[in-house]
Amino acid sequence: MSKLSKSLSTLIIILICVSFIYIVKAFLNSKKGHKAESISLGRVKGNPQAALRVTEYIDFQCPACAEGSRVLRENFKNYPNKIYLELKYFPLSSHKHGFISARYAECAGRQGKFWPFHDFLIDRQPQWSTLEDAKPAFQQMAKELNLDARKLDACVQDQNVEKIILVDKDKGTSLGIQRTPTYFINGNMVVGVKSLKEELTTHLSPQSN
């Protein structure tokens, strides 16, 4: 065999491999967006007409998610009418209290206190995330927000609440989410706090107007 045919076969192998990757990627992309979505008006905030639309996939026990939430909160303060935020659950299996914290947040939302409870979860994360049993910490937050404890306990046990969280996670997985926090800013995927800050600066800085 000549050297040329070795080069030619190398080229063919490269083309086959690249085609394979793009075909698999296209196949997976074609499956996106067909999953059911949970819709909860309690988990949105900001101006629905805002040009900047952020969907946040979060695990309440993830430290980077807490940092990301604080970044978003700061931007809401500075640009109250320029952002529309929707929160979706993405509890990681590596976080012991990830799922149960999402359950409590969803149930607080059913009593109209999703965002105050969310803020408690974020601000007090260093305390409750290290506990063996975090339920008393969540119940204390609920008490401080004057939530109905009986309703809250019943809600936390509700299978439908679990389904809502799993629907969000399923949707996130189908979108290719692997780590938290992941954001979709005007439809573009952004992973991690560093990229979030960069995107928000790009969209919200005075020069961008």
Give contact residues for another protein (rule: CB under 8 A). Answer: 1, 3, 5-6, 9-10, 13-14, 17, 21, 24-25, 28, 63, 94, 175-179, 182, 189-192, 194-195, 198
Between 140 and 201, whose beta carbon lies closer to another protein? 201
Q: Phi then psi for 36, rounded to 5 degrees?
A: -65, 150
* Amino acid sitting at position 142: A
**How many Å apart are CA 89 and CA 70, to the nearest integer?**
17
- Closest Cα partner for 43 from 74, 75, 88, 83? 88
Q: How many CA atoms lie within 13 A of 106 on its CB side?
A: 30
Beta strands in 64-169 (DSSP E): 83-89
Measured from the CB of residue 195, what is the shortest distance to another protein in angstroms?
A: 7
DSSP string for 72-100? HHHHHHHSTTTEEEEEEE---TT-TTHHH
- Closest Cα partner for 63 from 94, 84, 33? 94
Measured from the CB of residue 200, what is the shortest distance to another protein in angstroms?
A: 15
Between 32 and 143, whose beta carbon lies closer to another protein? 32
Between 17 and 149, whose beta carbon lies closer to another protein? 17
Measured from the CB of residue 178, what is the shortest distance to another protein in angstroms?
A: 4
Measured from the CB of residue 9, what is the shortest distance to another protein in angstroms?
A: 7
Place of tokens 């996130």: 172
Measured from the CB of residue 185, what is the shortest distance to another protein in angstroms?
A: 11
Measured from the CB of residue 197, what is the shortest distance to another protein in angstroms?
A: 11
Between 147 and 196, whose beta carbon lies closer to another protein? 196
Between 22 and 148, whose beta carbon lies closer to another protein? 22
Between 42 and 192, whose beta carbon lies closer to another protein? 192
**How many Å apart are CA 160 and CA 165, to the nearest integer?**
9
